[in-house]
Amino acid sequence: MARAIAAGIGLMEYPFETAKGFWRWVDLCEAGGIDSIWQTDRLISKSPILECMTALAAIAGRTKRVKFGVNVVSVAMRDPVLLAKQCATIDVLSEGRLLPGFGIGSPRGPEWTAMHLNPKTRGRTTDEALEIISRLWAGETLDYDGKHFKLTQAAISPVPVQPDLPMWIGGASEAAIARTAKYGTGWQAGSESPESVGQVIAAIKTAVAAEGRHIDEDHYGAAFAYRFGGMEEPGIAKIMDRYKERTGRDARDHFAFGGADEIMERIAAYVDAGASKFILRPAANGDAEMYEQTKRLVEEVLPRMAARWPKPAKKVAA
């Protein structure tokens, strides 16, 4: 089956100086053909980071075409009924443009200590929560007696307008692979290399087959930060330092610097590894830089992606 290759754009920290600058950037994404906008989840932070669910609701009201999601929401830090309700509400009011992504939360996140949460149970808590969310989305009235959650006659309405609301799962561990195979309709990488992404995708496909399920070939995603320019430019060192602090990884190995050729080369490496959907994060500070970096992506990279990987023709019903 031919894969549909598409590029979305993502935010971790809030790099804008003004709300006006943020909305101008959102308008550019909407008009410029960006496939989707993604907000990282972080509740506790000294750096400015938007709360993901309210940010998506605001973007839904501003736009008509672009899709949006969380890369990825830390399920173990949230109430699953509320999260299911939030996703359903946003999906209904956006007429089916939500792309929810779920994960267990990084062990490096400050939330575990600040909120007195137990990181050792985050995997099992997430598995229970994903079962609850998927069943509520399906319209069930749910009695649930788990180790971490207990519900009696719980139901939500309205349910999502997408009949099979996507459930993209993040993480590259064996548990994340099993979680994707059991619950996911797609998998979204974090900052893994193309080689690692290829290994995880292969493992998920094996696990999905064992579960007797199916995940579409073009429902595997990758992510990386990019910069039109070099790492020596003003302000970039600080962005790279914060990335290493969050992930423990060297930004020099994971960011794409240079021009459209370098960005396309990085995308192609992930495509060859089996990824089809991309979350590209501008390495930029301030309203003007964010707009310029995104504008160059729209003008210099998206047309080349469309030419190199044309969208498969839609099937016409007989």
CA distances from 315 to 258, 262, 312 (A): 38, 34, 9
Q: Give the residue from 180, 34, 33, 93 showing the smallest Cα distance to 11.
A: 34
Identify whether 153 is part of a domain.
yes
Q: Residue range 170-185: average pLDDT?
A: 94
Identify whether 314 is part of a domain.
no
Q: State the CATH number of the domain containing residue 269.
A: 3.20.20.30
Identify whether 317 is part of a domain.
no
Identify whether 316 is part of a domain.
no
Instruction: Count structural domains, the chain.
Output: 1
Local structure of 126: helix, strand or coil: helix
Q: What are the tokens at 40?
A: 């990282």
Q: Give the residue from 179, 185, 142 showing the smallest Cα distance to 162.
A: 185
Contacts of 83 (CB under 8 A, 6+ apart): 53, 73, 75, 129, 133
Identify whether 56 is part of a domain.
yes
Identify whether 271 is part of a domain.
yes
Q: Residue range 85-97: average pLDDT?
A: 98
Identify whether 315 is part of a domain.
no
Q: Where are the alpha helices (DSSP H) in 155-275?
A: 174-183, 194-211, 236-247, 251-254, 260-273
Identify whether 1 is part of a domain.
no
Q: Give the phi and the psi of residue 106 in degrees, each rounded to 5.
A: -70, 135
Q: Where are the alpha helices (DSSP H) in 47-147?
A: 52-62, 80-93, 111-114, 122-137
| pTM, to two decimals | 0.93
CB 246 within 8 A of CB 13: no
**Structural domain for 175, as ranges:** 6-308
| pLDDT at residue number 137 | 97
pLDDT tens for each residue of 48-76: 999 999 999 999 999 999 999 999 999 99
Q: Give the residue from 208, 160, 210, 187 showing the smallest Cα distance to 275.
A: 187
| pLDDT at residue number 318 | 45
pLDDT above 90 covers a percentage of the chain that reads: 87
